[in-house]
A and B are shown apart, each in its own frame.
Chain A
Amino acid sequence: MIYFDNVSKLYADGRAAALQEVTFQVAPKEFVSIVGHSGAGKTTLLKMIIAEDQPSHGKVFYESLDIHRIPRTRLPHYRRKIGTVFQDFKLLPHKTAYENVAFAMEANGRSDQEIAENVPQALALVDLDDKAWNFPHELSGGEKQRVAIARAIVNQPDIIIADEPTGNLDPIATYEVVQILRKINDLGTTVIMTTHNKGVIDEIERRVITMDDGRIVRDDATGKYVL
């Protein structure tokens, strides 16, 4: 479903390489965790998938589509196939939880009726139906991240990309977020997640890709956090 073909990313000064000859693929319905130290290239990898960053060499494919050859005007359409969750939540501060989730559907051109049906469902899935009309600054970190997840899944994307989704959360909120991501994966959505958190990896018991210095150093089918 996602295929990295010998991808390298060099920055302008030519010294630092964020990614070096990375090749791997992700099958549909997989739950892949990417682990590694800060600066190992995890986030760069995810940015390649959502076409936020360009590789210096190599190609990234979504099914048979070369992601970095998508014309700029078509990029929004491509991004709608992917749900994104970030460490810093990236919610729209002037919109309520409900509106944040609804925005993703509006941007997608969904009808008002679909929005009225699906947004409450998505918020219910992350157990936030009672906070639908709160603004982000009125929510805790865990609640914000759950809103972000609801937004990511509401358009029923093929893939969820989660960049350190538990990075800013306490252990209980971390547990909840991981449970939700597993539930989404069980419902058939591919999940690619980066994390620092050993507990999270050990709990999920799925494929783990370990990165170091821009390279993939391990790729285990049911991995443990080894660093």
Chain B
Amino acid sequence: MLTGLRRVVKAGFVGFWRNAYVSLASIFVLTVALFVIGATMFLDQLLATSLNTLQSKVDINVYFVPDAPEERIDAIRNAVAALPDVSLVTYTTREEALQQYRDRRQGDEISLQALAELDENPLGANIAIQAQETSQYENIARFLDEQRALEEPQAPVIDVINYAQNKDSIDTLTGIINATERASWIVMGILLIASILITFNTIRLAIYTSREEIAIMRLVGASNMFIRGPFMLQGIMYGFIAGLLALLLFYPLLIWLGPRTETFFEINLFTYYVQNFGDIFGILIGAGVVLGLVSSTLAVARYLRT
């Protein structure tokens, strides 16, 4: 058993070396396939990050009237925070609102003087609400409208809800995000399937050149596993080497691309590559090994059927 395994391993390595051209061609194609898989991963990351950034910039603001009682504000805040769709509620007190106003108008003497003329803070408190998904703003806005409807007309608490103003841009953004995600899934799916098929066919052709040899081995009385073993090992070797090559290819490419993606998408892909090297290594090498192994096993199986 152990002798058999040793012979299979040896035959795998010798075959790999003596069929150098076929091995090189298979490795080359597998490298391209893995490069596509890797690029798909990076693109997906890029897209996810930029969509996240965009999404975090969208929110609904509720402005309270300046003399709204503290406990009413708290009640609304807690009710909103308890909604399952809400991911974050940021509360800004009247004083903080004033301070932010001052900070924003730094150097704008007229506005600041106008503010100083008033003997009391004209600004109300406000809350900024972020949803998990952009499509959920509709529900949150409806909930806030219901809250407002419950108020006594003589003593309103909520002054303005800016969802109506933001609605169009939120809707557009939701549409764009959904469309982009769907399109990217389709493109990635096609690329993945194409690269898997190309790899499979290349290895099938490589083994097609060995079909005579396989027939001879069978005639000499070699068991199926003894024939299949070296080819399976070669498939694994192709995948492993191709995975390493793809990793190597990404290195200079991402050094060059990293700063550019940082300015545009707010993520440095090179930093991402370095930080997640373990995962990327595992995925590329793993995908290569599995692709090579499965392709060669299937390809040999054809010639082992009687």
Judge whether A171 is part of the interface by a CB distance below 8 angstroms. Answer: no
Q: Mark B75-116, 1 if CB is under 8 A from A, else 0.
A: 000000000000000000000000000000000000000000
Which of A50, A78, A82, A91 meets B216, CB within 8 Å? A91
How far is it, in angstroms, between the C-alpha of A133 and the C-alpha of B30 when the chains are bound?
34
Name the residue on A nearest B223 (C-beta).
A76
Judge whether B148 is part of the interface by a CB distance below 8 angstroms. Answer: no
Interface residues of A in 88-109 (CB under 8 A from B): 90-94, 103-104, 106-109
Given contacts A106-B7, A107-B226, contact A90 B221 (CB under 8 A): no
**Cβ distance A71 to chain B, nearest Cβ, rounded Å:** 11
Which of B4, B18, B215, B217 meets A103, CB within 8 Å? B217
Name the residue on B nearest A110 (C-beta).
B3
For B248, list chain A residues within 8 Å (CB).
none
Contact A76 B19 (CB under 8 A): no
Contact B223 A107 (CB under 8 A): yes
How far is it, in angstroms, between the C-alpha of A97 and the C-alpha of B99 when the chains are bound?
91
Contact B222 A76 (CB under 8 A): yes
Judge whether B220 is part of the interface by a CB distance below 8 angstroms. Answer: yes
Name the residue on B nearest A154 (C-beta).
B220
Which of B3, B14, B212, B218 meets A76, CB within 8 Å? B218
Contact B3 A109 (CB under 8 A): yes
Contact B18 A76 (CB under 8 A): no
Judge whether B15 is part of the interface by a CB distance below 8 angstroms. Answer: yes
Given contacts A90-B216, A93-B213, A109-B3, contact A104 B221 (CB under 8 A): yes
How far is it, in angstroms, between the C-alpha of A73 and the C-alpha of B212 when the chains are bound?
20
**A interface, CB within 8 angstroms of B:** 50, 52, 72-73, 75-80, 82, 84, 90-94, 103-104, 106-109, 111-112, 151, 155
- By Cβ-Cβ distance, the 3 closest A-B pairs, closest first, are A107-B222, A80-B221, A79-B221
Q: Could you list 20 A-B pairs, sorted by A, with CB under 8 Å?
A: A73-B224, A76-B218, A76-B223, A79-B221, A80-B221, A84-B220, A90-B216, A92-B213, A92-B216, A92-B217, A94-B19, A94-B213, A103-B217, A104-B220, A107-B220, A107-B221, A107-B226, A109-B3, A109-B4, A111-B3
Given contacts A90-B212, A94-B15, 13 further A-B contacts (CB under 8 A): A76-B218, A80-B221, A84-B219, A90-B215, A90-B216, A92-B216, A94-B14, A104-B220, A107-B226, A108-B221, A109-B4, A111-B3, A112-B3
